[in-house]
Chain A
Amino acid sequence: MTRGSLRWLRRTALTVVPVVVGVVLATFFLLRLVPGGPAAAILGDQATDQAVADLEAELGLDRPLLAQLWSFVVSVVVHGDSGTSLLYGVPTRDLIVDRVGVTLEIVALSVVLTVLLVVPLALLAALHKDRLVDHVVRVVPAVGLAMPTFWVGLLLILVFAVNLGWLPAGGGDQGLRSLVLPAAAVAVSLTPVLVRTLRAQLLEVLDADFVATLTAAGLPRHRVLAHVLRNAALPTVTLFGLNIAYMIGGTLVVERVFAINGLGALMFDSIGSRDFPVVQGVALFCAVLVVLVTVLTDLVVNRLDPRTRVLA
Chain B
Amino acid sequence: MSADLVAAAAEPPADRPGVVPVEPSGTGETGTGETGGHERVARPAEPTWRRALRTPAFVAGAVITASIVLAAVLAPLLATHDPAAQDLLNGLQGPSSAHWLGTDQLGRDLYSRLLYGARTDLRIAGLAVIVPFVTGVLLGTVAGYVGGRFDWVVARVVDTVVAFPFYVIVVAVVFAVGAGERGIYVALALVGWVTYARVLRNTTAVYRSSPWVVAARGGGLSHGRVVVRHILPNTLTQAVVLLMNDVVFVIVAVVTLSYLGLGVQPPTPDWGTMITDGKAFMATQWWLSVAPGALVVYTGIGLSLLGDGIADVWRAE
**CB-nearest residue of chain B relative to A207?**
B33
Size class of B's contact patch?
Answer: 35 or more
> Are A246 and B159 neighbours in the complex by a CB distance under 8 Å?
no
Neighbouring B residues of A204 by C-beta, 8 Å: 24-25, 32-33
> Are A146 and B160 neighbours in the complex by a CB distance under 8 Å?
no
Neighbouring A residues of B105 by C-beta, 8 Å: none
Query: Within the assembled complex, what's the spacing in Å between the Cα atoms of A203 and B33?
Result: 10
> Are A18 and B165 neighbours in the complex by a CB distance under 8 Å?
no
Distance between A208 CB and nearest chain B CB, rounded to angstroms: 11
Distance between A229 CB and nearest chain B CB, rounded to angstroms: 16
Query: Within the assembled complex, what's the spacing in Å between the Cα atoms of A238 and B165?
Result: 17
B223 within 8 A of A: no
User: Of A239, A245, A280, which one neighbours B21 at CB under 8 angstroms?
Assistant: A239
> Are B245 and A145 neighbours in the complex by a CB distance under 8 Å?
yes
Neighbouring A residues of B157 by C-beta, 8 Å: 22
Q: Hey, what's the 0/1 contact readout for A240-281 against B, CB within 8 Å counting as 1? A: 001101101110110010000000000110010000100110
> Are B19 and A135 neighbours in the complex by a CB distance under 8 Å?
no
Given contacts A154-B282, A197-B12, contact A147 B165 (CB under 8 A): no
Which candidate, A72-80, A219-227, A283-291, is the interface stretch facing chain B?
A283-291
Neighbouring A residues of B19 by C-beta, 8 Å: 145, 190, 193, 243, 246
**Quick one: which of A6-59 are within 8 Å of B by CB?**
15, 18-19, 22-23, 25-26, 30-31, 33-35
Q: Hey, what's the 0/1 contact readout for B16-51 against A, CB within 8 Å counting as 1? A: 001111101100000011100000000000000000
User: 12 A–B contact pairs at CB < 8 A?
Assistant: A18-B159, A22-B159, A22-B163, A26-B169, A34-B177, A143-B301, A151-B289, A154-B279, A162-B282, A196-B21, A252-B168, A279-B172
Of the candidates B32, B165, B248, B249, the one having the most CB atoms from chain A within 10 angstroms of its own CB is B165
Q: Hey, what's the 0/1 contact readout for B261-303 against A, CB within 8 Å counting as 1? A: 0100000000000010001001100100110010011111101
Q: Hey, what's the 0/1 contact readout for A131-150 against B, CB within 8 Å counting as 1? A: 00001001101110111111
A200 within 8 A of B: yes
> Are B165 and A130 neighbours in the complex by a CB distance under 8 Å?
no
Neighbouring A residues of B74 by C-beta, 8 Å: none
> Are B163 and A145 neighbours in the complex by a CB distance under 8 Å?
no
Given contacts A142-B305, A193-B21, A279-B175, contact A203 B32 (CB under 8 A): yes
Which candidate, B3-11, B199-207, B208-216, is the interface stretch facing chain A?
B3-11
Query: Within the assembled complex, what's the spacing in Å between the Cα atoms of A35 and B175?
Result: 11
A116 within 8 A of B: no
**CB-nearest residue of chain B relative to A38?**
B176
A282 within 8 A of B: yes
In the A-B complex, the 3 residue pairs with the closest CB atoms:
A146-B300, A249-B165, A22-B160
Query: Within the assembled complex, what's the spacing in Å between the Cα atoms of A154 and B292?
Result: 12
**CB-nearest residue of chain B relative to A243?**
B20
Binding site for A on B (CB under 8 A): 1, 5-6, 9-10, 12-13, 18-22, 24-25, 32-34, 156-157, 159-169, 171-173, 175-178, 186, 245, 248-249, 251-252, 255-256, 259-260, 262, 275, 279, 282-283, 286, 289-290, 293, 296-301, 303-305, 308
Neighbouring B residues of A26 by C-beta, 8 Å: 160-161, 164, 169
Neighbouring B residues of A200 by C-beta, 8 Å: 10, 12, 24, 32
**Quick one: which of A93-149 are within 8 Å of B by CB?**
130, 135, 138-139, 141-143, 145-149
> Are A143 and B297 neighbours in the complex by a CB distance under 8 Å?
yes
Query: Within the assembled complex, what's the spacing in Å between the Cα atoms of A248 and B19?
Result: 12
A157 within 8 A of B: yes
Query: Within the assembled complex, what's the spacing in Å between the Cα atoms of A130 and B3?
Result: 9
> Are B260 and A256 neighbours in the complex by a CB distance under 8 Å?
yes
Distance between A117 CB and nearest chain B CB, rounded to angstroms: 15
> Are B260 and A147 neighbours in the complex by a CB distance under 8 Å?
no
> Are A252 and B165 neighbours in the complex by a CB distance under 8 Å?
yes
Neighbouring B residues of A135 by C-beta, 8 Å: 1, 5-6
> Are A246 and B166 neighbours in the complex by a CB distance under 8 Å?
yes
> Are A154 and B163 neighbours in the complex by a CB distance under 8 Å?
no
Neighbouring B residues of A145 by C-beta, 8 Å: 13, 19, 245, 248-249, 300, 304
A60 within 8 A of B: no
**CB-nearest residue of chain A relative to B25?**
A204
Distance between A172 CB and nearest chain B CB, rounded to angstroms: 18
User: Of A154, A280, A283, A294, which one neighbours B289 at CB under 8 angstroms?
Assistant: A154
Given contacts A146-B296, A154-B293, contact A290 B260 (CB under 8 A): no
User: Of B20, B168, B178, B283, which one neighbours A282 at CB under 8 angstroms?
Assistant: B168
Neighbouring A residues of B260 by C-beta, 8 Å: 253, 256, 268
> Are A142 and B304 neighbours in the complex by a CB distance under 8 Å?
yes
Neighbouring A residues of B168 by C-beta, 8 Å: 248-249, 252, 267, 282-283, 286-287
A158 within 8 A of B: yes
A235 within 8 A of B: yes
Query: Within the assembled complex, what's the spacing in Å between the Cα atoms of A253 and B170?
Result: 12
A302 within 8 A of B: no
User: Of B12, B13, B22, B259, which one neighbours A150 at CB under 8 angstroms?
Assistant: B259
Distance between A6 CB and nearest chain B CB, rounded to angstroms: 22
Given contacts A145-B304, A203-B34, contact A196 B296 (CB under 8 A): no
Distance between A111 CB and nearest chain B CB, rounded to angstroms: 15
> Are A155 and B255 neighbours in the complex by a CB distance under 8 Å?
no
Neighbouring A residues of B161 by C-beta, 8 Å: 26
Neighbouring B residues of A238 by C-beta, 8 Å: 22
A68 within 8 A of B: no
A178 within 8 A of B: no
Distance between B139 CB and nearest chain A CB, rounded to angstroms: 15
**Quick one: which of A161-201 are within 8 Å of B by CB?**
162, 190, 193, 196-197, 200-201
